[in-house]
């Protein structure tokens, strides 16, 4: 069995690290700055590495070095790492943040490039927000991609990124040692298209070291979407979706079906893909998961619903719906899980239930659907975190970790594709 290895920077609550591990890579090092996220990692199969620069053996716990990545030395890992993975902090580029881009001191892409130089991994997997593709950031994003392709052509600390970008563009690629340059694939994704029960638009950048000779077309074929909105609509119309959820009230089914558009513009209804997974699918659970019960009004009391069966399934009071803060609905993928924008824990984490309640002011018939905050457990399901994964900190910090994470199912698609490409290279050598 091939012993594939990985390093994870900006590990957060562990979503991408889990995904890469599930694809067959053994973590040699994790790094994270946030205290509660470090506590989460330590609560799982991870331990503090200590001062010694050591390579863990197979079966050892994953080693974590907490603290600022700028203080992390990684040279001892050179030549030992198959995949370097991480999502540099996205606030500089997020639609929800101040959007200062490369001028923001939280921009950690330079540290990712330093890690590439010190480790020289075979592959780099980097996830970030779709905001990188906005017109105002496009020139800088193109620079990021070029710099990842030529990470050893270092930027002078006194120079601007524009002057460094000019030098990168003028470099003759073929003249660069193939062990010190990378072939880069940038993929805009919606996580729902990969079986994640959430609309989550991101950018995933994967870079293969050029000397490996990986066929990029093969890689691109392996990361094609597997699920679609059209297939979800088709499964609702023909009843297959409701067979998975036989207890849904007739009035809910009628409302959902009436809201479906006749057609989706530019979409092939017979695309041969699987249906998008919905919030209701996530709450029902997949293989080995329990179905999560709805939390009634009287249990929105900040207490575990049933700690032995449903960890972190805690009802939270005072959920509100107002303009710009609209709720999730059960029969579509959830809205993007956020990391706590504008003081709202977990972003717009309100959901409509199936329960009708009297409210003469809300509609002509005098009824509305009850709404409440999603629980941490429900949010973790939406992020495709396994129920066994422990989260540390108060509710707001748990939600923040989830909102900052890479959905495990999405990360695994890309990590699996990387593994298959490396298998192909190994078979040919």
**How many other β-carbons are positioned within 10 Å of the β-carbon of residue 397?**
21
Local structure of 129: helix, strand or coil: strand
DSSP per-residue codes, 236-302 = HHTSHHHHH-TT--HHHHHHHHHHS-S--TT--TT--PEEPPPHHHHHH--TT-PPPPPPPGGG-SS
Residue 95's φ and ψ, nearest 5 degrees, are -60, -30
Alpha carbon distance 121, 79 (integer Å)? 7
Local structure of 203: helix, strand or coil: strand
Tokens of 1: 């069995």
Taking the CA atoms of residue 132, residue 135, residue 136 and residue 140 in that order, the dihedral angle to the nearest 10 degrees is 50
Taking the CA atoms of residue 134, residue 137, residue 143 and residue 144 in that order, the dihedral angle to the nearest 10 degrees is -70
User: Which residue matches tokens 């890469």?
Assistant: 20
Burial 352-375 (b: 16+ CB within 10 A, else e): bbbbeeeeeeeeeeeebbbbbbbb
Decide if 48 contacts 66 (C-beta within 8 A): yes
Tokens of 245: 């959820």
Decide if 372 contacts 352 (C-beta within 8 A): no
CA 290 vs CA 283, 284, 377: distances in Å: 8, 7, 11
Give catalytic residue positions: 90
């Amino acid at each position: 069995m091939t012993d594939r290895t990985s390093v994870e920077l900006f590990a957060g609550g562990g979503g991408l690290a889990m995904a890469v591990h599930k694809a067959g890579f053994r973590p040699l090092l994790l790094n994270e700055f946030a205290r509660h996220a470090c506590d989460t990692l330590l609560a799982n199969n991870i331990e503090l590495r200590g001062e010694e620069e050591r390579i863990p053996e197979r079966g050892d716990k994953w080693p974590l070095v907490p603290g600022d990545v700028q203080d992390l030395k990684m040279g001892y890992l050179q030549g030992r790492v198959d995949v370097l993975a991480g999502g540099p902090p996205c606030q500089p580029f997020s639609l929800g943040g101040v959007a200062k881009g490369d001028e923001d001191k939280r921009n950690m892409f330079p540290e990712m490039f330093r890690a590439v130089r010190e480790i020289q991994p075979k592959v780099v997997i980097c996830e970030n927000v779709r905001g990188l593709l906005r017109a105002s950031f496009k020139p800088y994003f193109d620079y990021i991609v070029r710099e990842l392709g030529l990470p050893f052509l270092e930027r002078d600390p006194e120079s601007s990124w524009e002057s460094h970008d000019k030098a990168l563009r003028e470099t003759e690629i073929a003249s660069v040692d193939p062990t010190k340059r990378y072939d880069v694939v940038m993929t805009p994704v919606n996580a729902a298209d990969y079986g994640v029960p959430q609309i989550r638009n991101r950018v995933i950048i994967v870079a293969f070291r050029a000397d490996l000779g990986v066929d990029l077309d093969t890689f691109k074929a392996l990361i094609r979407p597997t699920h679609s909105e059209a297939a979800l609509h088709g499964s609702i119309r023909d009843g297959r979706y409701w067979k998975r959820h036989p207890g849904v009230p007739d009035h809910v089914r009628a409302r959902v079906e009436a809201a479906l558009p006749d057609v989706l513009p530019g979409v092939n209804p017979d695309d041969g893909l699987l249906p998008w997974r919905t919030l209701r699918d996530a709450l029902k659970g997949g293989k080995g998961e329990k179905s999560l019960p709805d939390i009634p009004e009287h249990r929105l009391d900040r207490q575990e619903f049933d700690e032995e069966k449903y960890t972190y399934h805690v009802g939270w009071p005072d959920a509100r719906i107002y303009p710009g803060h609209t709720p999730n609905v059960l029969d579509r993928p959830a809205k993007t899980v956020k990391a706590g924008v504008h003081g709202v824990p977990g972003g717009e984490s309100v959901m409509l239930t199936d329960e009708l309640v009297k409210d003469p002011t809300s509609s002509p018939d005098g009824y509305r659907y009850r709404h409440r905050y999603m629980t941490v457990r429900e949010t973790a399901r939406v992020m495709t975190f396994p129920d066994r994964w422990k989260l540390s900190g108060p509710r707001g910090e748990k939600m923040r970790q989830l909102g900052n994470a890479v959905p495990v199912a999405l990360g695994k698609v890309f990590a699996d594709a990387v593994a298959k490409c490396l298998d192909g290279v190994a078979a040919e050598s």
